[in-house]
């Protein structure tokens, strides 16, 4: 029990001590007034149910302890407090005096320090102002460069120095503005800078558009200047001046078959001086167009970081301008000025692009210019091919060729490939030759129309030499003849030969400056001359020969002319050789087709002679007026036939200047045609009856024909060759006049027959016509025995002839 009681007491004592410790801590916390009371009080009230009461008891006890401690302390210090009060009372009177003195001193000090205070306040105010001023100056020193730079930007923009303005803005934005970014005006500047950049961008783009419009307007002038600078153009100018100064000399050389190679020294010096003066007057593209806008715009867009946009815009616009430049005028082909303006614009366009290519870095590239050039070249070739096809004037085509050569050489000097242009020139050369052929066709027709087709009379040596200088005629017999004398050719021959040389020279003009070898030029000249021979001259001759007003005499002269023109072809070949210095023995040298050309023309003329001669014979035959029922012949040949024979004699005398075979062929053809016509007259279906008297009269006419044939109207026939043309008529007439039917019928079909050329059907036709005459005229012949026998004989012969004719038809 005692032990339990100790334990309980001990526990109670511990619990009490713990509770006292808690209250001590709470009181300590309350006394310190450092921590919030809520937390401490909560720990007291939350501990036990009667904690408030115990806490208040403890608090009262605590207060009492503090009151006792205060009372002890006051008691302990009371004496000191009393002594202190006593001392204070002693010094109170002195303190009043001191207060009065201090107050007086303070008043006097205040009065004396008012000025110092005022000066101090003034000094303070000045110091503040000075500090503010220093601060302001310091800040202004930071702001002034910004304002100066911004003002500089404005001035540069006003002066249109946009690239410098952009550089200044870049420096302002990156260096100066960050130092004074806190000021409002800097914010305004910062906001304005992008707008200024956009403004510069728009202005520079506007300048670029003005520049593009400017070069569009000045392209033709730029191209004109560039083409004048071309060495080829200077060569052409010199050639033109030389041709002007030596035109008479060249005409003389061309007429003589040579080509002048040099002009005199004075002329050369004059041309050189004029060329130097010409070069001094030539302007360049930079002189005509200000390229600074495109440089500025490029730099501006580069600084703005938008170079790609600028490059794309520039190239797009130049492509559009290229399309406009390459679009020709519809009437460009009418004058050389139209072609010149077209070429000038294109050359000006590419000269500008070449300048931009070399003056800028990357604005245009070689690939871009090559693309433009290839596109332009295809368009140019198509345009020139189309418009040149409309040209009918060879002089215009020649000037076009000269322009193309200068144009090609000019652009080749700027690095553009122009081989396709020279290939185009070969096509235009063919067209040029076509226009020349058409022009010379007119010339040839005019020459033929004005020709009198008579041998050229020569009265003296001067006239003779003049003809020889125009046509290479060499005839030793003619040279030996005294004056006056005649050339065998007519006036058209030397004129045609001269025109051939003029044509060759005209064709040579186109071949010059085509960068072709002498062999190629020689081949060109020969081919074009062959075309003039085979197409133009041949066609004109064929047309001339077919004309109705060309008679036999003219045809004879035409054949003579053709013969001499054919002989002159070798002189034309020598003329071409002198021009090109290419030997005619060269393997690939083209020969002139004079032989074949003139051979065809001559054959056509010969055929026309035969046709006209036969036609003339037919006209005489139509004048024949036989009385087919006459009883007795007139005793002389018919008048129409004698006129015909006289005509043939006079005509064949003209043929003496023709080659022998031509005259012989014409004579043989005329005799055969006459024989055939006379045979057809006998067998004409409209002639129903023919008497023996008519046969005898007809025989007289045939005898005249045979006498004409035997008189050798044209020399060269052997024996009685020409008389054989009338052999069919002769055997037929002999058969009827001799009445040798027994021999004819007995020997028919044998090679030795006397009447081998008499056809049974021909004999039957003529015999039936005589049979009808006998029946009509001999009404009383049936009463005479001889007449009856003759009639029976005729009927018998007719039957036998019919059997022969039928046999021939069955055999056939």
% the chain with pLDDT above 90: 33
Mean pLDDT check: name the lowest of 157-166, 614-623, 697-706.
Answer: 157-166
Rounded distance between C-alpha atoms, residue 531 and residue 541, angstroms: 14
pLDDT at residue 544 in the model: 93
For residues 449-468, give the mean pLDDT. 90
pLDDT at residue 271 in the model: 44
pLDDT at residue 196 in the model: 87
Residue 255 has pLDDT above 90, yes or no: no
% the chain with pLDDT above 70: 85
Residue 790 contacts by C-beta under 8 Å, 6 or more apart in sequence? 774
Q: Three-class SS of residue 486?
A: strand
Residue 34 has pLDDT above 60, yes or no: no
Rounded distance between C-alpha atoms, residue 214 and residue 288, angstroms: 10
pLDDT level of residue 294 (50, 70, 90 thresholds): confident
Q: Which of the pair, 71 or 253, is modelled with greater confidence?
A: 71
**Mean pLDDT rounded to a whole number for the chain:** 83
Rounded distance between C-alpha atoms, residue 511 and residue 525, angstroms: 8
* Contact yes or no for 227/343 (Cβ under 8 A): yes
Q: Is 201 left (phi over 0), alpha (psi -120 to 50) or beta?
A: alpha
pLDDT at residue 504 in the model: 92
- What's the pLDDT tens digit per position in 491-504? 999 999 999 999 99
pLDDT at residue 296 in the model: 84
Rounded distance between C-alpha atoms, residue 541 and residue 598, angstroms: 9
Rounded distance between C-alpha atoms, residue 323 and residue 376, angstroms: 8
* Contact yes or no for 667/711 (Cβ under 8 A): no
pLDDT level of residue 669 (50, 70, 90 thresholds): very high
- What's the pLDDT tens digit per position in 394-412? 999 999 999 999 999 899 8
pLDDT at residue 812 in the model: 53
Q: What is the DSSP letter of 536?
A: I
pLDDT at residue 92 in the model: 81
Residue 188 has pLDDT above 90, yes or no: no
Rounded distance between C-alpha atoms, residue 49 and residue 83, angstroms: 53
How many angstroms from the chain centroid is the CA of residue 74? 132
- What's the pLDDT tens digit per position in 225-238? 888 887 545 555 55
CA diameter of the chain = 234
pLDDT at residue 770 in the model: 85
Mean pLDDT check: name the lowest of 252-256, 489-493, 610-614, 709-713.
Answer: 252-256
Rounded distance between C-alpha atoms, residue 634 and residue 121, angstroms: 178
pLDDT at residue 726 in the model: 95
């Amino acid at each position: 029990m005692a032990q339990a009681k100790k334990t309980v007491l001990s526990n109670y004592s511990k619990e009490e001590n713990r509770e006292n410790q808690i209250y001590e801590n709470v009181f300590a916390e309350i006394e310190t007034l450092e921590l919030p009371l809520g937390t401490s009080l909560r720990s007291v009230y939350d501990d036990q149910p009667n904690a408030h009461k115990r806490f208040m008891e403890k608090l009262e006890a605590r207060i009492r302890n503090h009151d006792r401690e205060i009372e002890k302390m006051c008691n302990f210090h009371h004496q000191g407090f009393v002594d202190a009060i006593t001392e204070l009372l002693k010094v109170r009177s002195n303190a009043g005096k001191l207060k009065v003195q201090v107050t007086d001193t303070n008043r006097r000090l205040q009065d004396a320090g008012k000025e110092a205070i005022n000066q101090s306040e003034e000094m303070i105010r000045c110091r503040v102002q000075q500090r503010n001023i220093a601060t302001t100056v310091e800040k202004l020193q930071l702001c002034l460069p910004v304002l100066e730079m911004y003002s500089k930007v404005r001035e540069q923009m006003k002066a249109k120095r946009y690239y410098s303005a952009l550089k200044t803005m870049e420096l302002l934005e990156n260096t100066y503005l960050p130092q004074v970014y806190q000021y409002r005006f800097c914010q305004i500047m910062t906001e304005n800078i992008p707008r200024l950049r956009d403004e510069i961008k728009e202005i520079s783009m506007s300048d670029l558009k003005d520049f593009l419009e400017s070069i569009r307007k000045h392209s033709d002038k730029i191209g004109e200047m560039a083409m004048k600078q071309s060495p080829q153009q200077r060569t052409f100018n010199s050639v033109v001046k030389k041709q002007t100064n030596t035109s008479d000399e060249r005409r003389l050389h061309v007429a003589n078959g040579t080509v002048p190679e040099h002009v005199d020294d004075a002329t050369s010096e004059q041309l050189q001086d004029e060329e130097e003066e010409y070069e001094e007057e030539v302007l360049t593209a930079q002189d005509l167009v200000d390229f600074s806008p495109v440089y500025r715009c490029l730099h501006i867009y580069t600084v703005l970081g938008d170079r790609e946009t600028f490059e794309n815009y520039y190239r797009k616009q130049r492509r559009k301008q290229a399309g406009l430049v390459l679009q020709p005028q519809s009437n460009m082909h009418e004058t050389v000025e139209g072609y010149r303006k077209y070429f000038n614009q294109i050359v000006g366009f590419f000269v500008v692009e070449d300048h931009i290519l070399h003056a800028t870095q990357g604005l245009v590239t070689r690939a871009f210019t090559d693309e433009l050039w290839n596109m332009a070249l295809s368009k140019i070739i198509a345009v020139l091919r189309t418009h040149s096809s409309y040209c009918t004037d060879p002089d215009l085509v020649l000037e076009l060729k000269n322009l193309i050569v200068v144009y090609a050489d000019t652009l080749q000097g700027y690095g553009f490939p122009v081989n396709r242009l020279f290939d185009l020139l070969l096509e235009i050369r063919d067209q040029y030759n076509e226009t020349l052929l058409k022009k010379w066709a007119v010339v040839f027709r005019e020459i033929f129309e004005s020709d009198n087709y008579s041998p050229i009379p020569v009265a003296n040596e001067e006239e003779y030499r003049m003809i020889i200088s125009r046509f290479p005629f060499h005839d030793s017999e003619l040279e030996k003849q005294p004056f006056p004398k005649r050339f065998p050719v007519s006036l058209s021959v030397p004129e045609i030969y001269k025109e051939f040389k003029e044509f060759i020279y005209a064709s040579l003009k186109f071949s010059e400056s085509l960068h072709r070898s002498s062999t190629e030029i020689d081949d060109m000249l020969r081919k074009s001359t062959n075309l003039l021979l085979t197409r133009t001259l041949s066609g004109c001759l064929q047309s001339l020969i077919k004309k109705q007003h060309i008679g036999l005499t003219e045809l004879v002269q035409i054949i003579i002319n053709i013969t001499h023109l054919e002989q002159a072809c070798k002189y034309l070949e020598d003329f071409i050789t002198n021009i090109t210095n290419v030997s005619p023995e060269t393997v690939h040298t083209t020969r002139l087709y004079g032989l074949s050309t003139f051979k065809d023309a001559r054959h056509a003329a010969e055929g026309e002679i035969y046709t006209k001669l036969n036609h003339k014979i037919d006209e005489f035959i139509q004048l024949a007026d036989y009385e087919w029922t006459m009883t007795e012949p007139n005793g002389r040949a018919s008048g129409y036939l004698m006129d015909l024979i006289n005509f043939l004699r006079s005509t064949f005398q003209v043929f003496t200047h023709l080659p022998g075979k031509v005259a012989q062929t014409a004579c043989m053809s005329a005799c055969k045609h006459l024989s055939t016509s006379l045979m057809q007259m006998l067998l004409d279906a409209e002639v129903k009856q023919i008497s023996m008297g008519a046969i005898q009269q007809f025989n007289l006419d045939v005898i005249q024909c045979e006498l004409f044939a035997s008189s050798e109207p044209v020399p060269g026939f052997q024996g009685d060759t020409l008389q054989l043309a009338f052999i069919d008529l002769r055997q037929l007439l002999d058969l009827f006049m001799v009445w040798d039917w027994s021999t004819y019928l007995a020997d028919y079909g044998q090679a030795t027959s006397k009447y081998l050329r008499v056809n049974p059907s021909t004999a039957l036709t003529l015999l039936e016509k005589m049979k009808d005459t006998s029946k009509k005229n001999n009404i009383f012949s049936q009463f005479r025995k001889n007449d009856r026998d003759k009639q029976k004989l005729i009927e018998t012969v007719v039957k036998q002839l019919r059997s022969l004719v039928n046999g021939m038809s069955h055999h056939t």
